[in-house]
Homo-oligomer: A and B are copies of this chain.
Amino acid sequence: MYDIEKSIGFLLSKGYQRAWALLREEIEVHDLTPPQFGLLAFLWLQDGLTQVELSEKGQIDRTTIGGLIDRLEKSGLVERRPHPQDRRAYKIHLTERGKEMESPLAECARRALAKLTDGLSGQEVGELIRMLQILRGERKVYDHPSC
């Protein structure tokens, strides 16, 4: 008999759903959604990427990126600038307001994470991160790489 309640796929979907909802509660006052927050977070690490580069780094579908940027542009957090070497492409840049939002938004994410992992110890959270990185596709993640 197939018991979906114990299935990793089902549990991942529900865990993700809960993470999404908790983050959304924290950031909706800033009129953002979790994926929009995620895209900003990649720009905080490196500004001026093209849509394809953002798509690869964030593992977000390239057709989804377009709409995300449309909405972030409308909110005045990012802007499309023509790419100096490639007339097909845009470079996506944070606006001043987009840069200023890093600190308050990261604080929102910290609060959401605290609620999410309320039932887990710090060590368990580390273990969970390691295993999720493996699930994501890396063959194996070691604390001390051995090969």
Contact = CB atoms under 8 A, between A and B. Distances in A.
Interface residues of A, number: 54
A26 to B, nearest CB: 11
Copies of chain A in the complex: 2
Contacts of A125: 8
A143 to B, nearest CB: 13
19 contacts: A1-B45, A2-B41, A2-B106, A3-B45, A4-B41, A4-B45, A7-B109, A8-B19, A8-B113, A9-B20, A12-B16, A12-B132, A14-B59, A18-B135, A117-B135, A119-B135, A119-B139, A127-B127, A128-B128
Interface of A: 1-4, 6-20, 23, 34, 38, 41-42, 44-45, 59, 102, 105-106, 109, 112-113, 116-120, 124-125, 127-129, 131-141
